[in-house]
Structure 1
Amino acid sequence: MISGFDYGTSNCAIGVLNNKDNQHSAVELLPLERGHAFIPSALYAIERELICENVARLIGNKTLQPDYLNLRSNQLNLARAVRSREGISADEQSLFIGLDAFDEYQAMTGEGYFVKSPKSFLGASGLRSEFLAFFEDIVTAMMQGIKQRAEKHLGDSITHTVIGRPVNFQGRDAEASNRQAIDILTIAAKRAGFQSIEFLFEPLAAGLDFEAKLTEDKTVLVVDVGGGTTDCAMVRMGPSFRDNELRENDFLGHSGERIGGNDLDIQLAGRSLMPVFGMESLLKNGLPMPTQTFWDAVSTNDVAAQTVFNSMQTEQRIQQWLLDSTEPELIQRLIKFRAEKQNYQLVRSAEQCKISLSDNMLCAVELSYIEEQLRCDVSREQFASAIERPLAKMTELMDEAILQAGQQPDLIYITGGSAKSPVIRQAIQQQLGDIEVVDGDHFGSVAAGLTVWANKVFR
């Protein structure tokens, strides 16, 4: 079968074209977890070394298995040693994805290996070969699990797919970054069992879903605020264009950068939640508490920041703050937070707060997993203030795409989970003035568009 695969930063989805009546075809997003079409981009392993073992066991294309076993021989030996040392039986589940990964992470505080939004790391510069291999395994394990769930629902195998990609995975050295990320995704998709793989820009995919509904030609600015990136595309759409096999000439301008919903969550976590750990407290000498360590704590999409936060130097620095702070009880809370590796959990709380503030003016963030009865009230106004800098960058990307196209759009089509926020929608409207703004399916438009395109390129 043919599919569209949205391997997203925050959530993943996979779609197929359903034409059971042989007359009318419609995109069907397949249920992947607890009856829902979207599965959070998260993975938890009882032990880090067991990830490659799961990949080896579930490689979809068995002709690739011998080469993989040879490449990962050292890691597989480590995995066997870990199973023996920890008493983990061969039939015990050791890897979880999606909501199950969050459940295990929260139940096993401070233990195991947890990663959220691995797509954020794929284009990171300066990664050593062993880290690239590790990211290949993480992505492969997630793709294997998602593909298996989709095929179980269909009762059929999925062999061809179009995978969404941002315009740029990273801002710096974009060409090399994009090449590295695409290589990782391609290798992972092949090991997961896809025989044919193509890629399509995510904003264009989101626009294809919208284009099917247009009754007249329009020049559309597609603004896709994803979890890891914001992508903008100026596209000619409508009845005169949608049957074109090649769309390059209809793609008038595009821009994109690694700034998305995750960055909004991190900014909100830093400015509104980290103060309960002492971020805005004073030292006994009257100086303010240094803030960089607190930002490192919540920068869960930054490998370097996480490395620094978990370093011995940071532990020693925090211990010194415990002596120097005017509010040592807050620093003690930070010490416990760091020891129990609750930073991903805190950023997820910020994400849930962001979602709540789409419909409410105030959100009470429950932090009882940090400390009993701990909570923090956050207003929509505070959220707007917290995300001011990344939001300004998002609107700059819109201007860049319009400048490339050399014309104003007839309408603006906004999609992506974070674009649901009234704060972001208002910023878009203020930036471009009196141009109609249309909301898409904030979560499913990319997967739907990828599915439509897959059935064009593979038919």
Structure 2
Amino acid sequence: MYIGFDYGTANCSVASMQDGQPSLIPLEGEHFYIPSTLCAPTRESVSEHLFRHRNISPIDAVGEQVLRRSIAFNREESIELEADDVAFGQAALDLYLEDPRDIYYVKSPKSFLGASGLHDVQVSFFEDLVCAMMANIKSKAELHTEQTIKEAVIGRPVNFHGRGGDEANKQAEKILLNAAKRAGFNDVVFQFEPVAAGLEYESTLTENKTVLVVDIGGGTTDCSIIEMGPKWRGQSERNSSLLAHTGQRVGGNDLDIHLAFRQLMSPFGFGSKMTTGIEMPITQYWNPIAINNVEAQKDFYSKANLSALKLLHKEASEPDKLARLLTVYNETLGYSIVRRAEEAKIALSSDTNYRTTIDLLKEKIGVDISQQQMIDAIAQPKSKMAELVKEAVRQSGTKPDVIFMTGGSARSPFLRSAVEEILPNIPVVSGNYFGSVTSGLARWAEICFK
């Protein structure tokens, strides 16, 4: 059996072809979309879980080293790992929100895969993370379909990481490929996510059109200009129909992070001063919420930074606010703050004002955010997304007949209006914001594997 597999930054989903049409497969109860999250007793538990409870071994010497260290660490901590100690999706998020102190939690590992400067051990660990999530999804899909799934077309962004170029893309794709193979997929094909979304839209066309696909996902924004329609439908070779691709690691997560930074970090001392009159260092407020940046998270939660935070607390003109920032450090609350920002962003797409509450365990902080404040906060990532649209049009040398917008963040009326300003008087359409990529991947899987 073959599937289309959208291993997304925010959510994952899979689909098979049924009677000529893509059909999404439930992965979490009756839900088709499972959040791209994982939690475990310790970071080291992920590698041991694969080996002990999934019967998935490392594929090289570095992986074996990571596994040995993981098992040794858990033994030293007296952790006897049970099969259900590693949780995925909504269950992982619920465990994190319930008690962020005592678990290892990761959201959107796809954001890290193209990061520059990763050591072999880090790459191997990310492969384990992705493999664990893929193996969980594969087993859920097989349980529902009662079939063994051996082939998959997996979606990938045009560019995984903005600064790493082609090497970053190769690194990320290799991690995905190794993880998928270890999870049990015998044959794996990659397809650009905006192309996949376009294939789903193409199924509705009765005449040939030039289509601009704008896919704004959780981690990346990708644009493709593609010739589509009855002339191309079902063809396995269509390179000449692909007129332009642009992509960058800027997506819904970045909107959430920028909103959190501008509107939710003041209670923690952002913008306040030390007794000397010097403003608090900006990085201490950016790094804890930069959940898609490996180095930022590593720097903030390092032991050296704890000493720096304690010193800032002593020298702060508003020490109570710095005490809260120390709580963020001690309780690993960065993800929780970004989650509140995401909820505010969604609400402010239609409401003019929104009040969120940040739970610091011993204290709850209410923050009011206006729609205009949200618009101002996301201006930088929105501008980057707009530039990708402009560059795709420039590369193609043509204007599209229609714009197809997909991805969870494409629901934002502010992002939609930004695209309309660049290309006025061109119709903007959308389908299933979350499922178009998955459905298109299943259509391509039928062409590849049937």
Structure 1 partner of 2:21: 26
1:134 maps to amino acid: F
Q: 1:265 to 1:371 in 2, by over 3 A?
A: farther
Corresponding position of 1:442: 433
2:42 paired residue among 47, 53, 70 = 47
Contact 2:115 2:164 in 1 (8 A): no
Alpha-carbon distance, 1:86 to partner: 4.2
Q: Partners of 2:75 and 2:239 in 1: how far apart? A: 55
Asked whether the equivalents of residues 53 and 83 of structure 2 are also in contact (C-alpha less than 8 Å), the reply is no
Q: CA deviation at 1:215?
A: 1.6
- 8 Å CA contact 1:337, 1:370 repeated in 2: no
Partner of 1:13: 13
Measure the CA separation in 2 of the matches of 1:369 and 1:321.
Answer: 19
Residues 5-404 of structure 1 mapped to structure 2, 5 A cutoff: 5-19=5-19, 25-57=20-52, 65=57, 68=59, 72-89=63-80, 91=82, 93-404=84-395
Deviations 1:205-243 (A, max 9, x none): 011111111122111110001111110000111122213
Structure 2 counterpart of 1:4? 4
Relative to structure 1, the CA distance from residue 58 to residue 213 in structure 2 (aligned partners, 3 Å threshold; closer, same or farther) is: farther
Shift of 1:448: 0.6
Give aligned-pair identity as a percent: 44
Q: Distance in 2 between matches of 1:57 and 1:216?
A: 54
How far has the Cα of 1:358 moved from its partner? 2.5
Counterpart CA distance in 2 for 1:347 and 1:173 is 25
Question: Retained in 2: the 8 A contact 1:56–1:68?
Answer: no
Runs of at least 4 residues of structure 1 off by over 3 A?
57-60, 67-92, 369-373
What SS does structure 1 have at the residue aligned with 2:317?
A: coil
1-side partners of 2:270 and 2:292: how far apart?
Answer: 20
Native 8 Å contact 1:357 1:421 kept in 2: no
Distance across 2 between alignment mates of 1:383 and 1:351:
11
How many angstroms does 1:355 deviate by?
1.9
Contact 2:208 2:228 in 1 (8 A): yes
Cα distance, 1:81 vs structure 2: 3.8
Task: Quote the offset at 1:59 in angstroms.
Answer: 5.3
Is 2:412 aligned against 1:421?
Answer: yes
Deviation at 1:72, TM superposition (A): 4.0
Give the SS at the match of 2:84.
coil
Distance 1:169 1:307 in 2: 20
| Partner amino acid, structure 2, of 1:357 | L
Paired amino acid for 1:393 = K
Which region of structure 1 is more displaced relative to structure 2, 361-370 or 438-447?
361-370
CA distance in 1, matches of 2:64, 2:430: 49
Q: How far 1:364 sits from its partner (Å)? A: 1.7
Query: Which residue pairs with 1:22 in the alignment?
Result: none
Distance 2:221 2:323 in 1: 37
> Structure 1 counterpart of 2:378, which letter?
I
Q: CA deviation at 1:452?
A: 0.6
Cα separation, 1, equivalents of 2:62 and 2:282: 42
Quote the Cα distance in structure 1 between the aligned partners of 2:421 and 2:364: 40
Letter in 1 for 2:7: Y
What letter is aligned with 1:98? G
Q: Which amino acid aligns with 1:428?
A: V
Secondary structure of 1:263's aligned partner: helix
Structure 1 residues 69 and 313: alpha-carbon distance in aligned structure 2, compared to 1, 3 A threshold: closer
Output the CA distance in 1 between the equivalents of 2:75 and 2:278.
Answer: 51
C-alpha deviation, 1:416, in angstroms: 0.7
Q: Which stretch has the larger CA shift, 429-438 or 183-192?
A: 429-438
- Evaluate the alpha carbon distance shift between residue 233 and residue 7 of structure 1 in structure 2; reply closer, same or farther with a 3 A threshold: same
User: Alignment length, in residue pairs?
Assistant: 450
CA distance in 1, matches of 2:354, 2:144: 37
Deviations 1:370-405 (A, max 9, x none): 553422122221111011111111111111111111
Greater Cα offset, 380-389 or 361-370: 361-370
Q: Which amino acid aligns with 1:3?
A: I
Q: Using the alignment, how far apart are the partners of 2:364 and 2:70 within structure 1?
A: 40
**Would you say the 8 A contact 1:283–1:289 is kept in 2?**
yes
- Once superposed, what is the RMSD of the aligned Cα atoms? 1.8
For the residue of structure 2 that corresponds to 1:93, the secondary structure is helix
Correspondence for 2:445: 454
For residues 58 and 242 of structure 1, the distance between their equivalents in structure 2, rounded to whole angstroms, comes to 43
Contact 1:271 1:386 in 2 (8 A): yes
Deviations 1:313-334 (A, max 9, x none): 3222222222222221111111
Question: Is the contact made by 2:45 and 2:81 (CA closer than 8 Å) also made in structure 1?
Answer: no
Task: Quote how far apart the aligned CAs of 1:285 are.
Answer: 3.0
How far residue 58 of structure 1 moved from its aligned partner, in angstroms, is: 5.5
Q: Distance in 2 between matches of 1:416 and 1:382?
A: 23
Distance in 2, matches of 1:84 and 1:191, equals 25
Looking at structure 2, the residues matched to 85 and 132 of structure 1 have their Cα atoms a distance apart, in angstroms, of 24
C-alpha change, 1:218 and 1:125, in structure 2 (3 Å) is same
Offset at residue 13 of structure 1 (A): 0.3
- What do residues 122-179 of structure 1 show as CA deviations (whole Å, max 9, x unaligned)? 0111111000100000000000001111111111111110000000111223110111
Q: Give the Cα–Cα distance (whole angstroms) in 2 for the partners of residues 371 and 287 of structure 1.
A: 29
Indicate the larger mover: 99-108 or 404-413: 99-108
3-state SS of paired residue (1:115): strand
Supply the distance in 1 between the matched residues of 2:81 and 2:413 (Cα, whole angstroms). Answer: 49
Counterpart AA for 1:183:
K
Residues 3 and 162 in structure 1, CA contact (< 8 A), matched pair in contact too: yes
Letter in 2 for 1:267: H
Instruction: Give the match for residue 408 of structure 1.
Output: 399
| Amino acid of the structure 2 residue aligned with 1:31 | P
Structure 1 length-normalised TM: 0.94
How far has the Cα of 1:69 moved from its partner? 8.4
